[in-house]
Structure 1
Amino acid sequence: MSQPPVIVAAQGGLRSLLARLFWQVHSPVTVLVGAPPAVCLQTLATATRPSTKRLHHRDLFQEGRRYYLQPLAAGFRLTSDTRVFWGERRRRTGSAAVLDGRFSAAGENDGMVTLMRLNARMTPVALATALLLPLFIASIVAYMPWDRSIIITLIVALFALGWISQRFNAAYQANEMVFFVRKVMEDLPQANVPELVAHGPDLVVNKPANNESPSADFMSEWERFYGEQVAKEREGESE
């Protein structure tokens, strides 16, 4: 028998919460472009290299920021880093975030519209650094001849600071990469998506009875549908 919708929703909500806490570092972003996916990908690849011909993109490369594009079957993967202003001259920071882009195209020829879905997440290296480095220091602090409450407080503070610093760095990089994609896509034609008319022969609007809200009507229909499915499963088990 399938699980009740309340349990499924709770499990999905828990997974979503854990993903936002430990993995995702930026809310999903959708970009509409009036060009084919191949043109979008080529435009992004060209924009990753600074050029005097694209001075309107100069803000994208502040602090020595660089972008690295990896084409995928149905989209791309973007990472970024910046120049370190201390130590070795050519030293650069690591990539703490990854931006995955997925293309969905609709239309043909000049009327093609590309829907670009952007999702940013923390890299496994950054996630491991946020946990392993505080763990190493905590293993040393744990054997110090101090009061137990002080040791516990220090260990908790180590993990909290390590996690906050890595997540902030990943979120900052993700925000810069999302801004990069949006800024570059402004060079392409805007998507012309026709709006759905309010009334028409092909549009059917089912208004709830008794002036109820659409959400209440949906919930009643969902409960009826779920009850029918449960009844069918019980009949199948009895046979």
Structure 2
Amino acid sequence: MSIYSVDEYISRAKAYVAAGGENALRHACLELRYCIESIVYQKLGKVGKVLPRSVYRTWQPPQALKRLLSFEPHADQDATVSYCVPANDGAPSGEWSPLGDYRMFPVKWLNENYHKLGKFLHVPSLKEAESPAKVTAEMLHEIINEVERVASANVVMSVNMVAVEPCTVCQSDMYFSQAQVDAGSEIECYNEKCGAKHSIIKVGDKFRVERAGRFSMPCKRCGQRMAIEDIEHGEHKACWSCGQLHVFGWCCAAVPTTTDD
């Protein structure tokens, strides 16, 4: 049995593909989406107890894996995990013994194929109906092969530390890892209505989180400040606190000058 417990999904997907016909192939797409979601969410669940399930359960797998890569830069790369008995000084001692193989979808593959499967689970929009995408058995066989490859892993784990700090703008929890602390990374508030950017500044064995962007403005309704460093001309943004929608536009004017008579 797969460590990710997706054997039933894979078996049903294969049966639908073997049956043929557009309706059966669409059902295979759904089973494969379940496979991908189950694998990615289980991996993300290993990041640590600090990261609550309520946070990542709202993310689709491409977004989840992107977040995961910020915690673990090599999380989408295959690896063989080994161990050995440490010496008194903590250094490796003796021969290394294999523990197992870790496998994960490359983030580029996941972005392409998760959304590709999703296209066949909904009625096409009017624009999509003009040139509808066609689901084929060949396409699904390729996806099944990759899902089976990842599902054949016998190790799923996370080697990292996850910390939490409040956003300086909306006070929502922001999560980041030791890898991000060491790299002095920039992190973004998890509240999509806020999105304020912050810098992680390492000071000796400790660190602090500071606001990276300095552009903000008060909401026209409730007065709470909103981060606007990434706002573009004509863009709409709702207040993270009260939901009031704002539209932004830039303008310029000539500065009056005086001339001597």
Q: TM > 0.5 between the two?
A: no
Judging by fraction of residues, say which structure has more helix.
1
- Structure 1-normalised TM-score? 0.25
Q: Which has the higher contact order (CA 8 A, sep 6+)?
A: 1
Instruction: Provide TM-score, normalisation by structure 2.
Output: 0.23
Give the structure with higher Rg (CA).
Answer: 1
